[in-house]
Structure 1
Amino acid sequence: MARLPQKALTLTIWAAILAYISPYLLNRYQALSILFNNRPDKLLEVNVLPKYSVKFADRLRNCEDALIDDENAVAILSCDTGRDLWNTVMGTYHEKRDEISNGELLIYRYDLPENSEKSLAPIKIVDYPGVFSLHPLGVEYHHQSSTLFVVNHHLDGSRVDVFSLDLASHPPVARHKQSITSPLINAPNAIAALNDHEFYVTNDHYSSRREHPWFWQVETYLAFPGGTLTYVSLASETPQIQNVAHIPFANGVTLMNESILAVSSTSTAQVRLYNILSDRSVKLNSSIEVPFMPDNLSADKDGVLLIAGHPHPPSLEEVVKHRLSCTQDSEADNAACWKANVPSWVSQWSSSRGLEHLFVSKQEFGTSATAARDSSRKVGLISGLYENGILVWRG
């Protein structure tokens, strides 16, 4: 058999390498071009929401997650005024712990008039062991068992807290059942529950932004798959925990149905759909490309996926830095400090209609982190990571 000349062999090897890495290079080009295309001065606004308004701007701030339990016509909100000083994802670590206020979980009963005293109520947390520290990100609720799962970036280390939630009491009460910590839950972000004792949790990075800020940036901008999708079973006394997928900047996660799991990969500007296998491992099915950096996900009863995220991450980074310095300035106007003039983007996706953009705003309601909808009552909401109140639409 004739051997290829050295030059031809070299070209063949380089062609093979280029063919192998070209999907990665294309994705990096598409994802990083978002930083230029979605600059606030270039961003084209979209708003196809029906009647809407921002509610509870004087009572809520920094709400990262929001889930809808349409069986009870309630939304569970995850909010944290302490995020101004403590945000392990965005790299804010205030050293004076006594100055960092706790976050809170709240119930919004959207079928009641807004002026009703029961329309918005903080959840009372009881039986929490040790030092109480609550800095919630993702929340998940298993309706049939009244089990509430909370990603808590506790000052003493991130964890998943499990509660039994009594919605019938006033105020609603969450009784602590268990806290799960593990080296495999090093940077928890969002949760999707299969039942009262099994769930998936995303870890957004492999490295800690506090301990390894340079490598954290490498993970983020080069889309290194250091983030994980992690399966947790609480069926036995010792939790069973295992990584089932490695995903660049694994962020929001939600069940589309009993067999399909959606996970947002923020740094690749994708939502990845996985088949859930019988042993609870997962297999990549397909990916949805979006023109922004996706954050949290939710699916309504019609099987439509709602995707909220950040059109221009550099603007978000600037807000984080400004918020930290502004809130520590005794002469600063807090109202000005707390306004998040950063773009938001909310889209929806279905297999029949594809990707549709619902709300792209430069300043009206900023830092969109989650969108959720009760499709039967035609009520939806958007939460803002560094925003006042929540945006609620009807119709």
Structure 2
Amino acid sequence: MTSIANRTRPPRSKRRTSSTTSSTVNSILFGIAVAYGASYLTGIFHFAHDFVHDLGLLQGEVTSLNTDGCTPVAFSFSNKGKEEVKEETVWLEGCEDVHVHQRSGLAFASCAKDVESRKVWYPPAVRLNREDPRLDGWLKDVLVVYDIENEVARSMELVGFPTDVDRVFHGMDFYEDPSTFTSETKNLALTLFVINHRRTGSVVEVFEYTRKQDEKDDGNGSLGVVRYKETIANDLIRTPNDLVAMGKMSFYITNDHYYSEEGFMRHIEGIGRRPWSDVVFVSPEATFIAYNGIASSNGITANPNRTLVYVSAFHGGALDIFHPGYADTSSPEMKKTVEDKYRLIFVESVKLGFANDNVFYDTLTNSLLVAGHSKVLELAAGFNEPEGSPMQSASKVVQVTKNCAQQHPFQRSSASWFSLSRVGDWPKDRYLVKTVLEDSGRGVGGISTATTAVLT
């Protein structure tokens, strides 16, 4: 019996080898676990740091910067449709977006008729009280045209627009058809695209604005007349925030959330800074998701020749930069379909460190002006203020300029669970970020957009 047992027992050297192999495997697994755990904890740390910093949770008192020259703008509107037609003058308020047509010196803005209505119905802030009886008279937002040189602002008459339809205007842009402008006539013909949060669903309203050379306001509001053209609705336009015109009837539009209604997942998306929102391309030929994976895609703009598109990642505290497919030089093959031409290809991301809102491309300096909110909780609290109480929140404007003296090869980083969006490891000196205006909200509050104009 003993001899048989001895014959079946493995040789002593093999037992030693097996034990060594097992120990090596355990060491490798332990090392992997430690590395993964360290990476996980590092991700949590960076997530928590960015969360606290971008929301301004530990920021002290905000001091005013470059606000001395800021003055409110008054605008006039006619209460046509009433028995007694008269002109009223009020201050502009609740203006979400402003775009300047440099050649004419006209600024176009989408503004609230009464900012109090935002506390009741405003889907971007999840104010969804559709049944409030005050809304029928409240939801009458205005499009404003402002002659900058002559300091004349008027609410535009929306010729042909249904009078019984909600007007809750948000982001907007215009497109100028190059074929309508000649050096002889210098007439102005613009197509305006305006996001409208109707209670029946968010849509894009399309208007046409025309103006002859050197035409002046005749005192009866001729400066501000636009003609309603059509309404664009699509299932992919779910939570629209801003848009940038790409053609006479085409544009990119941002959805700032995946979840549109109040609820647990909407809070997870916001507090967790999840990159679940997208950018949609809309045209008569095709409508599709051009890019998905942004932490609350908010403001959007493009450079003059439309080879770069810039998107504010509101929850990510960053500015994401893209190429449209037709401008992607790394893929020289022919772009045959609309999807190929207008899909967005991620280039890089610039960390801004605050909840950035709308973005404007300044052709004078080839830089970007990005407006946003220094203390997001103040902004959110403003929507819960009692009726009649002002909505005050700290905000600022930064200028983002490419640092030509410090150009480095850009490397993408892999996305992790804790990534804010698909961002890259951009060197801190690749872009210069400078605060050009800031206020606590007591003087200039809730800044959502900034732009520049040249007076000749």
TM-score, length-scaled by structure 1: 0.82
**CA RMSD for the aligned pairs?**
2.5
Matched, 1:59 2:88: no
Given that 1:167 and 1:173 are in contact with CA atoms closer than 8 Å, whether structure 2 keeps it comes out as no
Q: How does 1:146-225 map to 2 (within 5 A)?
A: 146-167=190-211, 170-210=222-262, 213-225=263-275
CA distance in 2, matches of 1:133, 1:167: 27
| SS at structure 2 position matched to 1:68 | strand
2:35 pairs, out of 9, 12, 15, with: 15
CA distance in 2, matches of 1:17, 1:261: 37
CA distance in 2, matches of 1:84, 1:205: 19
Given that 1:46 and 1:358 are in contact with CA atoms closer than 8 Å, whether structure 2 keeps it comes out as no
The count of aligned residue pairs is 353
Corresponding residue for 2:452?
Answer: 373
CA change 1:30–1:240 in 2 (3 A) is closer
Deviation at 1:38, TM superposition (A): 5.3
Q: How does 1:301-340 map to 2 (within 5 A)?
A: 301-302=363-364, 303-322=366-385, 326-327=386-387, 334=388, 337=389, 339-340=390-391
Counterpart AA for 1:222: G
Q: Per-residue CA shift, 1:252-285, capped at 9, x if unaligned?
A: 0000242111100011100111112211111221
Given that 1:193 and 1:200 are in contact with CA atoms closer than 8 Å, whether structure 2 keeps it comes out as yes
Q: Which has the higher contact order (CA 8 A, sep 6+)?
A: 1
Corresponding residue for 2:185?
Answer: none
Q: How does 1:256-267 map to 2 (within 5 A)?
A: 256-257=303-304, 258-267=306-315
Corresponding residue for 2:184?
Answer: none
Given that 1:259 and 1:275 are in contact with CA atoms closer than 8 Å, whether structure 2 keeps it comes out as yes
Given that 1:69 and 1:143 are in contact with CA atoms closer than 8 Å, whether structure 2 keeps it comes out as no
CA distance in 2, matches of 1:147, 1:99: 32
Corresponding residue for 1:385?
Answer: none
2:134 pairs, out of 99, 103, 108, with: 99
Counterpart AA for 2:72: V
Counterpart AA for 1:216: R
Deviates more, 1:188-197 or 1:4-13: 4-13
Corresponding residue for 2:182?
Answer: none
Given that 2:297 and 2:311 are in contact with CA atoms closer than 8 Å, whether structure 1 keeps it comes out as yes
Matched, 1:47 2:65: yes
Deviates more, 1:174-183 or 1:193-202: 174-183
Corresponding residue for 1:343?
Answer: 394
Corresponding residue for 2:421?
Answer: none
CA change 1:172–1:202 in 2 (3 A) is same
Corresponding residue for 2:120?
Answer: 85
Matched, 1:138 2:201: no
CA change 1:15–1:240 in 2 (3 A) is same
Q: How does 1:109-124 map to 2 (within 5 A)?
A: 109-112=147-150, 114=151, 119-124=152-157
Deviation at 1:248, TM superposition (A): 1.1
CA distance in 2, matches of 1:38, 1:126: 49
Deviation at 1:12, TM superposition (A): 0.8
CA change 1:340–1:8 in 2 (3 A) is same
Tell me, which stretches of 5 or more residues in structure 2 are unaligned? 1-19, 76-89, 178-188, 213-220, 327-340, 404-430
1:360 pairs, out of 414, 438, 441, with: 438
Tell me, which stretches of 5 or more residues in structure 1 are unaligned? 328-333, 379-395
Deviates more, 1:3-12 or 1:191-200: 3-12
CA change 1:242–1:377 in 2 (3 A) is same
1:34 pairs, out of 54, 57, 75, with: 54
CA distance in 2, matches of 1:167, 1:28: 52
Q: How does 1:245-264 map to 2 (within 5 A)?
A: 245-257=292-304, 258-264=306-312
Deviation at 1:167, TM superposition (A): 4.4
Given that 1:49 and 1:358 are in contact with CA atoms closer than 8 Å, whether structure 2 keeps it comes out as no
CA distance in 1, matches of 2:155, 2:165: 16
Q: Per-residue CA shift, 1:132-179, capped at 9, x if unaligned?
A: 111011010112351100111111100111111234571422222222
Q: Per-residue CA shift, 1:297-356, capped at 9, x if unaligned?
A: 11121221010011111111111100xxx22xxxxxx4xx2x333211111111137111
CA distance in 2, matches of 1:172, 1:133: 20
CA distance in 2, matches of 1:30, 1:38: 11
| SS at structure 1 position matched to 2:205 | strand
Corresponding residue for 2:425?
Answer: none
Q: How does 1:266-285 map to 2 (within 5 A)?
A: 266-278=314-326, 279-285=341-347
Corresponding residue for 2:7?
Answer: none
- For the pair shown, which has the larger CA radius of gyration, 1 or 2? 2
Corresponding residue for 2:427?
Answer: none
Corresponding residue for 1:386?
Answer: none
CA distance in 1, matches of 2:41, 2:295: 16
| SS at structure 1 position matched to 2:228 | strand
Deviates more, 1:282-291 or 1:89-98: 89-98
CA distance in 2, matches of 1:377, 1:27: 44
TM-score, length-scaled by structure 2: 0.71
1:126 pairs, out of 155, 159, 178, with: 159
| SS at structure 2 position matched to 1:218 | helix
CA change 1:221–1:355 in 2 (3 A) is same
CA distance in 2, matches of 1:175, 1:309: 32
